[in-house]
């Protein structure tokens, strides 16, 4: 499903090259839920961005469903993401000029689904926000916005869903509800879930935990 080989990322700084990731290798199978953990600066979000094709590595390859996305140009990676990958971000990244319903329907419309809004309405009902369909993000609480963001991430039935600190901006109680929703939708869709988190409760819900330290994998259990 997802295979990473010899992955490294270096960036130039005023003091010379800075190595963020070094010689990362891992395989994630279809349907797995995987938490990537580690201290701030360990390279978690960089690894997520590389695996999702949001950035390109200095060396190494990322293969998803047999396609080496590191060989694709920017447009090719964008097209691949639209077909195969969903995202949930800490900062929600809902489009402020679209309603909750429209935000969820957007990836379905981009995929060419003729029933985008009907599918989005069902997802809104599934996350308990059907009555908020016409509300804009500014009219929703943080927890509600993240629930909409999760529904949007799953909307197009992606092969892979990447989540970057999905409970990071939420209080403990709201975060717990969001975790339940994330894994409920994941179990229904059989989507492969890869998330970066500092939340121990969220990591414990995953099948597997990968720990990074100074840009290297130090634990995979």
Tell me the mean pLDDT per 10 residues along the chain, length 221.
95 89 95 94 94 95 96 93 90 94 94 92 92 97 93 90 89 86 83 91 92 95 90
What CA–CA distance (Å, rounded) separates 3 from 98? 36
- State the residue for tokens 């390109």: 56
Q: Which residues pair with 35 in a beta bridge?
A: 195, 209
Per-residue model confidence (pLDDT) at position 180 = 87
Helices 142-155, 100-110: inter-axial angle, 10-degree rounding? 20
What CA–CA distance (Å, rounded) separates 133 from 178? 18
Per-residue model confidence (pLDDT) at position 130 = 95
Per-residue model confidence (pLDDT) at position 117 = 96
Phi, psi of 195 (to 5 degrees): -135, 145
Which residues are CB-contacts of 103 (< 8 A; sequence separation ≥ 6)? 94, 95, 137, 148, 149, 152
What is the reported pTM?
0.89
Per-residue model confidence (pLDDT) at position 103 = 96
Per-residue model confidence (pLDDT) at position 55 = 93
Per-residue model confidence (pLDDT) at position 45 = 93
Instruction: Give the strand pairing for 85-89 and 160-164.
Output: parallel
**DSSP helix/strand/coil, 99:** coil
> CA-based Rg of the chain, rounded to a whole angstrom?
17
């Amino acid at each position: 499903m997802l295979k990473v080989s010899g992955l490294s990322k270096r960036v130039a700084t005023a003091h010379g090259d800075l190595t963020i990731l070094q010689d990362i290798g891992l395989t994630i199978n279809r349907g797995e839920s995987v938490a990537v953990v580690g201290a701030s600066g360990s390279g978690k979000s960089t690894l997520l961005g590389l695996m999702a094709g949001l950035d390109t590595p200095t060396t190494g390859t990322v293969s998803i469903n047999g396609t080496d996305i590191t060989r694709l140009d920017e447009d090719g990676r964008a097209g691949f993401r639209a077909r195969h990958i969903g995202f949930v971000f800490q900062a929600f990244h809902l489009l402020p000029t679209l309603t909750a319903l429209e935000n969820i329907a957007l990836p379905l419309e981009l995929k060419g689904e003729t029933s985008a809004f009907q599918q989005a309405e069902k997802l809104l009902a599934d996350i308990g926000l059907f009555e908020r369909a016409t509300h804009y993000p500014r009219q929703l609480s943080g927890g509600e916005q993240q629930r909409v963001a999760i529904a949007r991430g799953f909307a197009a039935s992606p092969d892979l869903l990447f989540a970057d600190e999905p409970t990071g901006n939420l209080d403990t109680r709201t975060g717990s509800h969001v975790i339940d929703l994330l894994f409920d939708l994941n179990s229904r869709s059989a989507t492969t879930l890869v998330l970066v988190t500092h939340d121990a409760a969220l990591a414990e819900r995953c099948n597997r935990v990968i720990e990074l330290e100074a840009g290297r994998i130090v634990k995979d259990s």
